[in-house]
Structure 1
Amino acid sequence: MWRSIWKNRGLILQMMRRDIAGRYRGSVMGLAWSFVTPVILLTTYAVVFSFVFNARWGVGLQQSRLDYAMLLFAGMIVHSLVAETIVRAPMLVVSNVSYVKKIVFPLEILPLVAVGTALFHAAISLLVLMIAMAFSVGHLPASALLLPFVWAPLVVLVLGAAWALASLGVFLRDIAQPIGLFMTVLLFASPVFYPLSALPAAVQPWVMLNPLTFAIEQSRAVLLAGQAPYWGGLVIYSLVAAACAWCGYAWFQKTRKGFANVL
């Protein structure tokens, strides 16, 4: 799996650039939309939740009106990173039939391109969040440098799911239909709009089974609370993510022989 990624790294980057550029091709503002959109979202969250609803996170932080919006936005970035990839995954192979007919083309890189594009948009949103933090607090915590260690296992887990869904989408076209609804349900089942501590103690272990929960909580810890991540949990999360990625890749490679017959 890793050998294939390294061997095709140049092609992956080239297709990522084309994918990102193609999304904004023909628009007046072009790539600037990738920055403007998260700015508008963060502003909307700040106005609606802080000024209209007067919402407070309630975790003992000294909060300004912007704090709740930043806490919410941090969770939304993680969810959007996952959702953008998972929603696209079932149609990755189906929408690239010409590549299936080219025997020498490495189809396994298509999910990698989708994950890379999602990471690009997440990085832009993260930049907007950091600018808001610098404006609100006046500085960025040193622990923010540890964010890649929090996101890395999540990206590996999402990649494994994308490989599996990309394969299943070829044989079961209906699987693409409920994915958007599933991600919406997962949004409210994750501690995006509320802290994990707000849930009853009996419910919290079940919410922790949600693969987004740990990533969201740890992202907030390193970005906003200035805390180090829970390294023990990261090790376990990384092992599970690596196993899921390997299984997804193995399934994709096992079933790819039948893609051409179905398509």
Structure 2
Amino acid sequence: MLGRLWVFLAPFLMLMVYTFVFGHILRARWGAAQDNTSFALTLFAGLLLNGMFGESLSRAAVVMHNHSNYVKKLVFPTEVLPLSLVAASLVNSGIGYLIIVVAMLLLNHPPGLWVVFLPLSLLPFLLCVTGLTFMIAAFGAYFRDVNQIVQFLLVLLLFLSPVLYPMTSLPEDVRHYLLLNPLTIPVEMVRALLFGTPMPPTAQIAAYSLASVLLLICGVWLFLRVRGGFADVL
């Protein structure tokens, strides 16, 4: 029961902290007339993607060591382990977005009809996360230090993405660098579908989708290529 409660409680507590820091102290906003409630929901939409991203990658670094008893069994399909991490984080994020939609309905700010495309908009991000999860799981089996490196990079990517602040708050000559962050395009797309903010250009979405497919292929290929040595190093 506590585990199920934590699915709702963990993102809510994180939302309260970030809303206080960025909404009341730093007074960040995605619009001049935006109230605290709208700001919190907008912030929450980005934090959910960051949570999915961070949960999958941080757990991937140690997933082979944590389940070494399964990895050492020749009949066990080790590719299930990275996929289970992505699936679990996807469920948690899905519950979070359901909470956002319900909250918007209760606050008399129902989302537009475009919200039905929300699952489709998350597909490229899901492919990206899956590819990175397979890569990190493969490297993490051989190198213990991968976990520390991943934790540092996750914090860096969070603050170098429009999760905690709008892209319009940055100089125009800096904004295009944020597009290299795997969180940027999905966060902008989700907020556009939920809150009616500007959608990223089609070319950027297409480029991100192509990069996600290539990343998935490379990640799965690398994992399958090196998994034969997992049992030996574990």
Per-residue deviation, 1:191: 0.7
| Aligned 8 A contact 1:144 1:226 in 2 | no
Gap change, CA 1:58 and 1:260, over 3 Å in 2:
closer
| Aligned 8 A contact 1:157 1:242 in 2 | yes
Matches within 5 A, 1:17-36: 29-36=2-9
| Aligned 8 A contact 1:90 1:176 in 2 | yes
Q: What is the root-mean-square deviation in Å for CA atoms of aligned residues?
A: 2.1
Per-residue deviation, 1:233: 3.0
Gaps of 5+ in 1: 1-27
Matches within 5 A, 1:92-131: 92-131=63-102
SS of equivalent residue, structure 1 residue 209: coil
Identical-residue share of aligned pairs (%)? 33
Within the alignment, does 1:257 sit opposite 2:207 as a pair?
no
Pick the aligned partner of 2:151 from 180, 192, 214.
Answer: 180
Which residue matches 1:216?
A: 187
Give the Cα–Cα distance (whole angstroms) in 1 for the partners of residues 10 and 92 of structure 2: 10
Give the Cα–Cα distance (whole angstroms) in 2 for the partners of residues 262 and 109 of structure 1: 19
Per-residue deviation, 1:122: 0.7
| Aligned 8 A contact 1:150 1:229 in 2 | no
Q: TM-score, normalised by structure 1?
A: 0.81
Which residue matches 2:25?
A: 53
Gap change, CA 1:196 and 1:137, over 3 Å in 2:
farther
Which amino acid in the other structure matches residue 162 of structure 1? T
1:117-137 CA distance string (max 9 Å, x none): 001111121122222222334
Gaps of 5+ in 2: none
Per-residue deviation, 1:165: 0.8
Matches within 5 A, 1:162-181: 162-181=133-152
Gap change, CA 1:259 and 1:30, over 3 Å in 2:
closer
Pick the aligned partner of 2:120 from 144, 149, 152.
Answer: 149
